[in-house]
Amino acid sequence: MALSIDLNGHVVLVTGGSRGIGRGITEAFVAAGATVVTCARSEAEPFPGTTHVTCDVRDPEAVQAMVDGIVATHGRLDVLVNNAGGAPAADAADASPRFHDKIIGLNLNAPLLVSQAANKVMQAQGSGGSIVNITSISAHRPAPTIAAYAAAKAGLESLTKSLAMEWGPKVRVNAIEVGLCRTEQTDDHYGGDARVAAIEATIPLGRMARPDEVGTVAVFLASELASYVSGASVGCHGGGEPPVFLHIN
């Protein structure tokens, strides 16, 4: 049986949707026929078929204004993808309280804030809605130099389950646990092609993900094909990270 996903008529908000993994998510929803709005703290050139708004997703007033603007323009909001996040490396012993507050604010508090605003709209719609949180494989293993980020992502997975229970049946809430992914910053971050190739050799599927592969999982979770999926965390990490002892001779 052939299956396809058609999201024509659906309005989608992708936070941090103009580059990296967010860009891949945006492109996947556009390919499925959705009307997509992306947001970031800075201006960005919209991907064809999308609009972009500037918004600091940690700012309650800015978030509410953004969601109100989407509803005023499009009349609805069907899907939210909480993708905005990330963290620079820092030693947990020396990082300042302000640094940790900002990391947790962006990766945990902000998704909750945007979800609250989206949920109010979705609960009032006959068709409800779907929220997809982008989490990380780092939430399930020790994460030296990104400890606060990993803790925030673990919190986001817990939040996903709680919101799914609170906000059903009108709103489904799921997460995508993302592993290493090829973006425009990969070579700079990991140290060039040779080092990236060595890292990819440790991944069971032999390579990092492409951003569009994360996007297709998000589209599935937002669609009617996942109509009974809520409170789930779907791995998109190529099989995970093998234990270190397997690579010791």
| DSSP state letter for 245 | G
3-state helix, strand, coil in the chain (%, to 5): 45, 15, 40
Six token digits for residue 175: 């997460």
Asked whether the CA dihedral 144, 213, 156, 231 is positive or negative, the reply is negative
What's the CA gap between 170 and 234, in Å, rounded? 21
Element at 122 (helix H, strand E):
helix 110-123
What's the CA gap between 214 and 23, in Å, rounded? 10
Q: Is 149 a catalytic residue?
A: yes
Q: What angle do CA 43, 95, 97 make, to 5 degrees?
A: 80
Among residues 29, 149, 167, 220, which one is catalytic?
Answer: 149
What's the CA gap between 130 and 110, in Å, rounded? 17
Six token digits for residue 135: 């989490």
What's the CA gap between 47 and 33, in Å, rounded? 14
Q: Which residues are catalytic?
A: 149
